Amino acid sequence: MIHRYDTVIIGAGLAGMRAAIEARVSGSCCVLTKVFPTRSHSGAAQGGIAASLGNAGEDDWPTHMFDTVKGSDYLADQDAVEILVKEAPLTIIDLEHMGVPFSRTEEGLIAQRSFGGHTKQRACYAADLTGHVILHTLYEQCLKHAIKFYPEYLVLSLVLADGVCRGVVAMDILTGDIHGFFGRAVVFATGGYGRAFKITSNAHASSGDGLSIIYRAGLPLEDMECVQFHPTGFYPSGILVTEGARGEGAYILNDQGERFMKRYAPDRMELAPRDVTARAIQTEIDQGRGIGGGAYVHLDLRHLGEEKIRKRLPQILDLAMRFTAVDALKAPIPIQPTAHYSMGGIPTDIRGRVIGDAQGTVVPGLYACGECACVSVHGANRLGCNSLLEAVVYGARAGKVVCEDLPGIEWSDWPKGAVEGVQGEVRALVEREGNESLAAIRDELQESMQKNCGIFRSRGPLQEQLLIIGKLQDRFSRARLSDKGKRCNTELVEILELRSLLDFTELIVRGALAREESRGAHYRTDYPKRDDAHWLKHSLARKGPEGPVFDYKPVRITRYQPKERKY
Amino acid sequence: MNQSTNKYTFKIFRYDPERSPRARYDTFSLEVAKGMTVLDCLQAIKASQDGTLSFRRSCRSAICGSCAMNINGKNDLACHLQVSLLGGRTVTVDPLPGFPVIRDLVVDLEEFYRSLERVLPWLVRSSPFPDKELPQSPAERDRIDSAVNCILCGSCTSSCPSFWFNTRYLAPAALLKAYRFIFDSRDEAKGERLELVDDRNGLWRCRTIYNCEEACPKLLKPNEAIAALKIEALKQSV
């Protein structure tokens, strides 16, 4: 079955739904999403969304911009950052007018807290459920505007013909039927890929499907080596503990009870950017100063007092009890760094249009926004609270640009056989005989990525990881499904997700091998210094006949020249 | 962490109409390490014993609401429930009651989602918006705190006998959504929304059984929200 909409949006997190609310204005619009909209992973964001509202002391957009550019280790494109921070205050007001229940100051204004790498109190929040309340509010707005959703549809391929995007092919997970979605504009808002790693804050659904679909279609992916590890995940699960905890004043302590951040970031302490803090924690653990010599340190909330903890961090209090059996009012929480966010992704221009090469050639009809996109506002390290902001600002922008572009995009032809080709591929996967277990391949991939391509990287382990991925890709061709059914075949979904993981993890590792410097979250122990002379540039990886091919493009620097980064 | 392990029996509801019109229970035996949640166990069973076992899951941190199911007779999120705290060595897992089963533990929530749409589930204002945020005091914000924390997992509605006997009943989740806007100081459609819920298939089909209070994995007390709405509806009618 082929569905026809002017705009087809993939993903119903903050970026996708915000885009839909704009795009609906100029024609028919639908949103495909692999989980029901309110189950999207945006809802797991806890601490806040950044904007220089100035509700808690003076602030302005240039300060927000400088903090973001410095945080990115100067790899962010500054024209894109400028748009992000300039539009931030009105974006927040707009969300509030939609009904987002932000926490409030005594004066009745939106409350703001401190966050890592931000020099002002800039994080607008709703206790520690900020992503959740924004996600649900945007869903409510989509209901108000009668946006058409296709929930539990897994997108499997991009339909490109003559270099022009025509739509996507997707599987209805509940029925197993394959559908074509023919659109004049297609917006990717498919989120991140934390599931490439064993220890992650991300949902099971965060398997980077959108990135691999773009890559398989022959388009490039940008800065894939830049992976953020959040400093504070619960031990052992990796589930997120918001940076807002430290924003409220929590301490990080090693086995000696020492606030060791004073040795790594004396000015910012616990509120250094995430790359710096995650490396500090990992260093303490690696040097035997984890708690009892183990693989975790402590996050101590106790001195904040019961009232503040219950009011500002209720979710953390609940999760700590459920996932670590610790009462955070009475004892410190065991934490470890956890794979959290993809700074890289589908390259776009500042209008959200996907670009197909280092020269910036636009792929007509194709747009991307949110975590799956790389515009790039985060460079090599994202500051906390800037991701929700990016999702909403650039989601809305992509939707508006679609409205501007649609009058100039003609309906072309739906390529014959696009749906049938994918049907055949899926059938072959289901019917394939073999002796390999998908769970075993996935476990080995996640464990080896954690070990060889984590916070600290170097040539030897990265090369080993490439060999491992090659072997796993080979084994994948013999992975067998036990579920041969059509209806709600979740094993089929898992193997399709694993196929995505095996595609893009190779790009992360190859990108990390190539980038012989340390910048932001990408840290090479064999090249511990930033090297602006050679590496102040974005990487682009695309599929070649013999595997990935790399190209590079310059960073757009407007206001702030790179200088040494100290905290 | 203590790595000592223990064997548990999982008795899991199975239904796949493609293969058989009849539902059944399958039994799996699993070594459960300390700290493992019910969801961890379902995943382990799916990975190593039976790949055809179907269930929803995503965030595994109790915020997306995908993995709501009935565990040892109580609706809860599989992801935030540690097996060792359940008591007993047998864990019985059923799909959420009251909803049609699609397959195994996956239920059809279409009607549940539609019910939310019947309460005008978005902020309504006819007054112009200021350039800044609409003012709201911390006390006003506190009034809707539990309601905005709802994750739409369906546990409450699924536990409600009034809903089992009449699926036209709005049921606790949709009523909690109504409460979220009726008691939001910024909203201007209180009367209209109260009329929508002041109905035999609305508020008044709540028989104060309070299963919803016990069922809510986020401890949100939809029963109290319904009680507050009943008072508002009565106030409006006199």
In this prediction, residue B237 carries a pLDDT of 81
Q: Tell which residue, B98, B69, B87, B90, has the closest CA to residue B217.
A: B69
Instruction: Return the percentage of chain A with pLDDT > 70, whole number.
Output: 100
In this prediction, residue B59 carries a pLDDT of 97
In this prediction, residue B2 carries a pLDDT of 46
A321 and B CB contact within 8 Å: no
Query: Contact B58/A35, CB-based, under 8 Å?
Result: yes
Say yes or no: B121 and B215 in one domain: yes
CB A247 within 8 A of CB A273: no
A318 and B CB contact within 8 Å: yes
Say yes or no: B33 and B116 in one domain: no
Give chain B positions within 8 Å (CB) of A230: none
Query: Which CATH number fits the domain that encloses residue B41?
Result: 3.10.20.30
What's the CA gap between A398 and A232, in Å, rounded? 32
CB B112 within 8 A of CB B154: yes
Provide the pLDDT confidence category of residue B5 given band limits of 50, 70 and 90: low
Give chain A positions within 8 Å (CB) of B34: none
What pLDDT digit, counting tens, does each position of A250-294 carry?
Answer: 999 999 999 999 999 999 999 999 999 999 999 999 999 999 999
Provide the domain count of chain B: 2
> What value does the mean pLDDT take over residues A109-123?
97
Q: Tell which residue, A534, A508, A540, A507, has the closest CA to residue A522.
A: A508
Say yes or no: B161 and B89 in one domain: no
Say yes or no: B30 and B124 in one domain: no
Say yes or no: B117 and B231 in one domain: yes
In this prediction, residue B1 carries a pLDDT of 43
CA A561 to chain centre: 27
Say yes or no: B97 and B117 in one domain: no
Give chain B positions within 8 Å (CB) of A132: 63, 149, 151
Q: Closest residue of A to B80, CA-based? A: A322
Say yes or no: B225 and B155 in one domain: yes
Residue that wins the pLDDT comparison between B236 and B28: B28
What's the CA gap between A552 and A535, in Å, rounded? 9
In this prediction, residue B236 carries a pLDDT of 87
What's the CA gap between B37 and A360, in Å, rounded? 47
Range of the domain at B18: 5-107
Burial label for B208, CB within 10 Å (0-12, 13-18, 19+), is: exposed
The closest CB to that of A133, out of B18, B52, B148, belongs to B148
Provide the pLDDT confidence category of residue A520 given band limits of 50, 70 and 90: very high
> What value does the mean pLDDT take over residues A7-23?
98
Query: Contact B59/A140, CB-based, under 8 Å?
Result: no
Query: Contact A99/B52, CB-based, under 8 Å?
Result: no
Interface test mutation site (partner B, options A487, A492, A496, A498, max chain B beta carbons within 10 A): A487
In this prediction, residue B238 carries a pLDDT of 73
> What value does the mean pLDDT take over residues B9-38?
96
Give the count of Cβ contacts less than 8 A between chain A and B: 163
Q: Tell which residue, A241, A194, A189, A557, has the closest CA to residue A371.
A: A189
Residue that wins the pLDDT comparison between B238 and A428: A428
In this prediction, residue A532 carries a pLDDT of 98
> Has the ipTM of the complex gone over 0.95?
yes
Give chain B positions within 8 Å (CB) of A483: 51-52
The closest CB to that of A110, out of B47, B133, B152, belongs to B133
Say yes or no: B70 and B101 in one domain: yes
Provide the pLDDT confidence category of residue B4 given band limits of 50, 70 and 90: low
Map chain B to HEC letters: CCCCEEEEEEEEEECCCCCCCCCEEEEEEEEEECCCEHHHHHHHHHHHCCCCCCCCCCCCCCCCCCCEEEECCEEEEHHHCEHHHCCCCEEEEECCCCCCEEECCEECCHHHHHHHHHHCCCCCCCCCCCCCCCCCCHHHHHHCHHHHCCCCCCHHHHCCHHHHHCCCCCHHHHHHHHHHHHCCCCCCCHHHHHHHHCCCCCHHHCCCCCHHHHHCCCCCCHHHHHHHHHHHHHHHHC
> Given the structure tokens 């992973």, which residue do they identify?
A41
What pLDDT digit, counting tens, does each position of A167-202 carry?
Answer: 999 999 999 999 999 999 999 999 999 999 999 999
Picking from B78, B107, B136, the residue at the C-terminal end of a domain is B107
Picking from B107, B127, B142, the residue at the C-terminal end of a domain is B107
What's the CA gap between A85 and B94, in Å, rounded? 48
What's the CA gap between A520 and A515, in Å, rounded? 12
A109 and B CB contact within 8 Å: yes
Query: Contact B106/A483, CB-based, under 8 Å?
Result: no
Say yes or no: B10 and B99 in one domain: yes
Q: Residue window 229-248, chain A: list those with CB within 8 Å of chain B.
A: 236-237, 239-240
Say yes or no: B37 and B71 in one domain: yes
Query: Which CATH number fits the domain that encloses residue B178?
Result: 1.10.1060.10
What's the CA gap between A205 and A494, in Å, rounded? 9
In this prediction, residue A130 carries a pLDDT of 98
Q: Could you tell me whether strands A178-188 and A251-253 are parallel, antiparallel, or unpaired per DSSP bridges?
A: unpaired
Residues of A known to be catalytic: 274
Say yes or no: B92 and B126 in one domain: no
In this prediction, residue A178 carries a pLDDT of 98
Say yes or no: B101 and B118 in one domain: no
What pLDDT digit, counting tens, does each position of A229-248 carry?
Answer: 999 999 999 999 999 999 99
SS3 (DSSP) at A67: helix
What pLDDT digit, counting tens, does each position of A349-366 carry?
Answer: 999 999 999 999 999 999
Picking from B73, B107, B141, the residue at the C-terminal end of a domain is B107
**At residue A58, does pLDDT exceed 70?**
yes
In this prediction, residue A485 carries a pLDDT of 96
